[in-house]
Structure 1
């Protein structure tokens, strides 16, 4: 018969420094005793309801994982074999899914399989094989696939689009892969990752397929798309969303410009460039650009021509008030997501396959979205002004 749990002995053990959880933890013994007592009660109830003669027939032992530790559970048996325990079923080896949730939580923070194993051993007193950790994290894959195909809202006032590169093993060698990230601001002003796509290289053609996917999943209109200066990107967007206004990232443009300015001139050039992108109006910005051209055009014609050729999409933000400008003049919002991705993947170097990369990024997205519970600052004002600038395009989704 199962012995009683001795609370006085448990208190003494704690006072002596024994762990509460873990392989030899005090609570582990309590959970073992309670589980075995409950199983015995189940068997006795079963025998009392049996129509045919039956009786107890000893017990069998199996290792069970619990939230407090690993222990050997004695499961009672009956002579006829008709007893089906409910607390811990015949093939069940875990009392709860808490360990799986702990593994997924640590995985989503970018911890390596080795570190996860060490923490699980410290917490629960059990050694978790790499294969088990991989099997647990693989549970994210079907969830990821469903998330990638989920229906989306019909209208998004603002969407930021950007890409990030990783090394992934394919056909025995590591090659560079591109993860396309789409971050949307919904009608309530809350951030939402709309999609996560993987391709071998970044280009307008693949962005076209990504945008087609958005359209197929229900997106009918995007007011403003904030993007980097990838050639052909604006045209790809216009193909699917012809009314969308394009805002090229000012920060990307500045970085790319400074690559072609001699280091001895960079400080002076930046001082003359600031009046262009910080101007109060588009007209003032164009006058500053003319002055920049007059002073530096002969030395850096490539840079000046780049600003002029892209000016239509670089200058879109000037028409809006300051609080809207701050949101759209750069792709910082989606780059912040990529910074979180880099934190997760910085210890990985490269990935053995595409799924191993995508499931980690998806785990990171789940963590990030938990914090996106509130609309961005001044969203009510921004939305009312966007409804005026884009007259009629939000009427079907605004409750007015």
Structure 2
């Protein structure tokens, strides 16, 4: 039955009258608001029901207290923080002092339902603990300490750690790795640290975020390590979680990555992101020449095979632009062994390996929630926020796609997740080619 039919008009009129501020505007949240009064009434009613269950008899039952050996003993005032603001309650007591409320426990300063979720959501959107504290006080009149908010957000760490250590599939067709830089206090010093995110494409063509890793800063250096030792630990983590084979690892040219991955996965092909190569090659080029140089470089990475690409690069090196910008040629020459695996495939696989944009778009969303932070107090704080942000990003896209499916609009068939479970376009053609190139390894 609708709640409206259960509430008398006089009760609603009184609530409305009491919820108007001095300007005649309706206050839905905050102290003394309409929702606050409703929450107060519901909680007090529930507390009375809990005490009745504890004592074993109802209110005003004559003689029941003598047979039970316990009785009601008035009420005590208490203010709790809720999702609609502070609410003053009258909590019932018993004479024996054995009544322990479940809904509003003793010494608890807040009712977790709704408020905790709100705090975690605000935190996941990039607000710092102090920003969340100010927002709750300003909008809802809810005053929580810095420590209380930190403890609430820390509740998700167990789930984040479980996600970070969950078992993975034995085989991934492609693994993309990219990084975003965050400021973290490490060894009592605030330093820039790369937080690496890995996205793997499984044998069904679905993308999954595999994990988040931050390098530890040695005591004798000022910056976090990004070399072979760090990447060896990342690859060991993947193996410990069940990964036995990676066909292709696509990176932006990370130092030490090739040796580390071959130590853990000897048969893996390492492919540098072509878009990163182009960006690096164009970095020393003057703006007026950028379009012309990019046009020449396109002949290199769209060549039919590695030999044709080498010829195209040699032709460009001999042109006026090539002589003017030898560094653009050198970028491709230095990365040639990691660039040419891409040339052995046709369009479907090339499209998959051409760029790490799939993971870069995720990192772009993650940077939006980290840029407002001065620095993070620990590596765990970084992992916590990034994990919450990934969940929040995916939930947001899930709602958008659910709405599209209801409307039957374009792309309504797409899965609900932004990364987790998103299928690579053109996967059927790419799978056939990968199965030929890597016989017996992809199932």
Give 3-state SS (helix, strand or coil) of 1:315's partner: helix
Query: What residue is the counterpart of 1:25 in the other structure?
Result: 33
Within 5 Å, which residues of 2 pair with 1:171-182?
171-182=187-198
Q: Which moved more, 1:18-27 or 1:7-16?
A: 7-16
CA distance in 1, matches of 2:100, 2:74: 15
Contact 2:18 2:32 in 1 (8 A): no
Alpha-carbon distance, 1:131 to partner: 1.8
Instruction: Verify: 1:381 aligned to 2:429, yes or no.
Output: yes
Partner of 2:274: 250
- Deviation, 1:299, is 5.1
Superposition pairs for residues 181-330 of structure 1, below 5 Å? 181-199=197-215, 200-261=224-285, 266-295=290-319, 301=326, 303-330=328-355
Instruction: State the SS of the aligned residue for 1:168.
Output: strand
**How big is each residue's C-alpha offset from its partner over 1:227-276, in whole Å with a ceiling of 9 and x where there is no partner?**
12234422322221111122111122222223445666544433322211
Unaligned 5+ segments in structure 1 are 396-400
In the other structure, the counterpart of 2:160 is: 144
2:373 corresponds to 1:348? yes
Aligned to 1:39: 47
Q: Which residue of 2 aligns with 1:88?
A: 104
Distance 1:309 1:83 in 2: 74
Q: Give the 3-state SS of the residue equivalent to 2:68 in structure 1.
A: coil
1:22–1:122 CA contact under 8 A, matched in 2: no
2:61 is matched with none
Aligned partner of 1:102 in structure 2 is: 118
Aligned residues: 392
Deviations 1:200-244 (A, max 9, x none): 132233112211111111100111110122344223222211111
- Listed one character per residue, the Cα deviations across residues 70-94 of structure 1 (whole Å, up to 9, x for unaligned) are 2111111222334344443334444
SS in 2 for 1:340: helix
Deviation at 1:179, TM superposition (A): 1.6
Structure 2 partner of 1:398: none
Q: Provide closer, same or farther for how the CA distance between residues 175 and 271 of structure 1 changes in structure 2, counting only shifts above 3 A.
A: same
Q: Is this contact kept in 2: 1:68–1:123, CA < 8 A?
A: no
Contiguous gaps of at least 5 residues in structure 2? 1-7, 58-63, 216-223, 396-416
Between the aligned partners of 2:289 and 2:143, the Cα distance in structure 1 is: 60
Answer with 48-57 or 331-340: which moved more.
48-57
Give, in whole Å, the separation in 2 of the partners of 1:71 and 1:263: 62
